[in-house]
Amino acid sequence: MIVGSLAATGASAVIGEVPSVRWVTLGITFAVGISSGFMGYFKYKERSFYLQQTADAIETEWEAVEVGVGRYKDIDNEEQRLALFVDEVHRLKSEQKKRQQSLEQPPESRGHKE
């Protein structure tokens, strides 16, 4: 996106000397606009951030199970630790789904809970 924007700016500066660059500038500008629209509509960066955040939380939780710290330190039974871990992973995944659904809603309806 940034490279395309810079290329369009550079090409528009050269239009005076090389008129045939006009169509190249138009094409680059159009491509940058389309890609910007896709990125804004589909919110790839936010989705990726939230997915990574959930994956990191699950990994941290698994490490706590293995080491036996945090909520798992007083549980000696492995089955009970794993059951607690599964509950926590389920909760984390549910939160992730809610965040994803929030991204799919129009901006004006986000944050307005009735």
- Comparing CA positions, the residue from 55, 78, 57, 80 lying closest to residue 66 is 78
Spatial separation of the C-alpha atoms in residues 13 and 7, rounded to whole Å = 10
0.85 exceeded by the pTM?
Answer: no
CB neighbour list of residue 112: distance below 8 Å, 6 or more residues apart: none
Residue count (the chain): 114
Task: Please give the helix or strand (H or E) that residue 70 lies within, else none.
Answer: none
| Domain boundaries, given as residue ranges, for the chain | 2-41, 44-109
Q: What is the pLDDT of residues 32-69, one digit of tens each?
A: 888 887 776 777 788 889 999 999 999 999 999 999 99
Task: Round the average pLDDT of the chain to a whole number and report it.
Answer: 83
